Amino acid sequence: MVSCLRWHITEDATGAPGLDWHFDQEALDAEAAVDGWYALLAGIPADKADPAQVLVHYKGQGAVERRYHDFKGPLAVAPVFVQHNHRVAALIQVICLALLVFCLIERQVRRALGPEQTMVGLYPDNRRVRPTGRMILYHLGELTLRVGTIADQPIVQITRGVQLHLLELLGIEVTQTRWPQT
């Protein structure tokens, strides 16, 4: 950044030091001309980069920002006070694994939907939307498992069609419920 302040030290007739200063109008005008501009860093080679491509690459950061939102929103990460560094590291690792699973569930459903990438039934008004991890887990969070007996296998109780659709998109067969292996 160009300094806009010009100064130099002077001496008067008695030898006392003084300070002479002024603002450099040319430097101020140059700064004002680029006010509001900023640099974008992109991993695109200079010979292939045009301003539109750099901007699109930069705008892709929205996906990263959305994951920070998920980190603080649906995962409900709140301040936790721990006493040892290894516990802090373990807590961060568990939270990051939860975020990874959250993102993979959303990705699997969106890929299974195909290029259309919208579905109905996620909201009460049945509008067509792209499923988010938050909405997927909201609907699947209401699933219940009816405990079976030795002669009768356990059954996942599906109360809404959107739950069955989400399970199909995730590749989960609810007819194949089994007793946990011990």
Name the residue with higher pLDDT: 126 or 19.
19
Question: Distance from CA of residue 98 to its chain's centroid?
Answer: 13
Q: What is the pTM of this model?
A: 0.54
Q: Which single residue is written with the structure tokens 């939270």?
A: 95
Q: Report whether pLDDT(26) > 70.
A: yes
Summarised one tens digit per residue, pLDDT across range 101-155 is 988 999 999 899 887 778 888 887 778 888 888 888 888 888 888 787 778 777 7
Mean pLDDT of all residues belonging to the chain: 80
Write phi, then psi, for 17 (nearest 5 degrees): -70, 150
- DSSP per-residue string spanning 26-81: HHHHHHHHTTT------SS-TTT--HHHHHHHHHTHHHHHHHHHHHHTTT------
Where residue 89 falls among pLDDT bands split at 50, 70, 90?
Answer: confident
Query: Could you tell me the residue ranges of all domains in the chain?
Result: 1-38, 73-176
HEC string of 87-156 equals HHHHHHHHHHHHHHHHHHHHHHHHHHHCCCCCECCCCCCCCCECCCHHHHHHHHCCCEEECCCCCCCCEE
d(CA 12, CA 15): 5
**Weakest mean pLDDT among 1-15, 63-77, 79-93, 106-120:** 63-77
Question: What does the block give as tokens for 123?
Answer: 């909201």
Measured CA to CA in angstroms, residue 7 lies from 15, 17, 25, 102 at distances of 18, 13, 14, 58
Q: Report whether pLDDT(33) > 70.
A: yes
pLDDT value of position 134: 85
Q: Report whether pLDDT(62) > 70.
A: no
pLDDT value of position 1: 44
Q: Encode 143-170: b = buried (16+ Cβ within 10 Å), e = exposed.
A: beeeeeeeeeeeebebeeebbebbbebe
